[in-house]
Structure 1
Amino acid sequence: MTTAPDSLDRRARQLHAEALAHVSPEVRAHLRRARHEAISAGTERPSWRLPSWLAGGAMAAALVLAVVLRPDPAPPQPDALPAAGVAAATLEDPAVHLEEDPGFYLWLASADVTALALE
């Protein structure tokens, strides 16, 4: 291992100690008090804060309520869908007209279909 980090750490500590030597004892005492107050204030728990299990339960209840009260999508209009489907089918496949013609089924049942298929 290299000793470069150790020498860097040692040099930083030395510079810090030299800088503290130039600070008056009153200022150091004031900084020490402020540091202790900040540390003690950080460890106190605010009284208004909810326990984690209660906050989690409230979040779960809100999600369940949102799912239950979610509005259902509007059902499709019964007349609109078949008309749109037929219109799209007629544009794509011209054989749709043959399927609607009763003569097509009579011709399909005749003997001409078999002769036509053998050709």
Structure 2
Amino acid sequence: MSDIHDNDAFDRRAKQLHATALASISPQTLAKLRAARQAAAQPARPGHAWRWIAATAFSAVFAVAIGVQFVPRTSTPVAPAQPVASASATSDYSTSLDENPDLYVWLASAEGQRLASE
């Protein structure tokens, strides 16, 4: 253990242990290591990028589909079935009520109150 403080002796001992370890590796393991090193040195095969693009696109579409379900929906106002009366017709109607007080007399009568309560 005194070799640790002496860097040169430590390096020689480490190299010696490394050489011993390399000598004890089986030929089958060395062949597998060489094949793996050569495969790693090869450039990536072209033509597989579309798989990554398709997977990313599918994930994005799926995320948007899930997200749309959580968006609050706003109610759309329903268009009236009949056209709205013009301003002149409304003003004519209000003036006719003002000119005809019999309507108010009828509403105050017993018959008008009976119809209003139904």
TM class by shorter chain equals 0.3 to 0.5
* TM-score, length basis structure 1: 0.35
The TM-score normalised by the length of structure 2 is 0.35
